[in-house]
Amino acid sequence: KIKKKEANILIVGLDNSGKSTVVQYFQTGGKRTEVTVPTIGFKVEKFKNAGLTLTAFDMSGQSKYRSLWERYYSDCHGVIFVIDSSDTIRMAVACNELQLMIQHPEMVKNRSSTAGVPILILANKIDLEMAIPIGQIRAELGLDEIDTHPIHLEASNALTGVGLHAGLQWLSDQII
Ligand code: GTP
């Protein structure tokens, strides 16, 4: 694998899954300085973590913006796909978006390896009582059937940071 100090990471997922909260945690180490508002289009944030300088493209999860994600696929080294574990109603929608993404030609082959772009899936909001157990999320997303990309599923709570460092460390290890 090619050694990279800088990496472009796409942060995607349905609206309200917690993408901006994840980015904010990595930037401030958990000190929540502002109230998150729905992302319009996308935000670009730069931060250092897990030995990488990351440029995070925090893409809006609203459906009218989802086609925008694809414009950033060609220049991305890793993806953080955030899922609201408590959103049982839209789990199938999230699954569909994940499948569309991993099957996209730009995503199938990483320029630095023969495998596809590595994808960290955060099963976020795991603290909520209605959260679907992680094993069930793995099954519903069909993760065991995906052999085109390195994929890792991590349970997270973006409010406290649980799971975020472990998840990002995995992604970083795939890129370096
Ligand atoms: P869009 O910009 O609309 O695409 O949303 P987003 O994915 O960026 O979601 P955002 O980070 O704005 O979070 C949505 C809401 O979920 C906010 O009220 C967050 O405080 C809350 N939230 C995020 N992560 C967690 C979590 O792990 N647990 C709980 N309980 N709430 C969370």
Question: Ligand 1 pocket test: which of 15, 20, 21 has the largest number of ligand atoms within 8 Å of its C-beta?
Answer: 21
C-beta of 128 in contact with ligand 1 (< 6 A): yes
Atom of ligand 1 nearest to the CA of 21: 11
State both tokens at 126.
Answer: 């795991």
Closest CA to 17 of 60, 55, 57, 70: 60
21 CB near ligand 1 (under 6 Å): yes
- Residue 67 C-beta-side C-alpha neighbours within 13 Å: 1
Return the CATH number of the domain spanning residue range 6-175. Answer: 3.40.50.300
Map out the domains of the chain as residue ranges: 6-175
The answer, yes or no, to whether any atom of ligand 1 lies below 6 A from the CB of 24, is no
Contact of 85 with 126, CB cutoff 8 Å:
yes
pLDDT per residue rounded down to tens, the chain (176 residues): 556 578 889 999 999 999 999 998 988 776 665 556 677 787 888 888 877 888 888 888 888 888 888 888 988 999 999 999 999 999 999 999 999 999 999 998 765 566 899 999 999 999 999 999 999 999 999 999 999 999 999 999 999 999 999 999 999 999 86
Say if residues 149 and 118 touch (Cβ distance below 8 Å).
yes
Task: Tell me the pLDDT tens digit for each residue of 45-86.
Answer: 888 887 788 888 888 888 888 888 888 898 899 999 999 999
**Spatial contact of 79 and 9, defined as CB atoms under 8 Å apart:** yes
- Judge whether 82 and 122 are in contact, CB under 8 Å: yes
- Residues assigned a catalytic role: 62
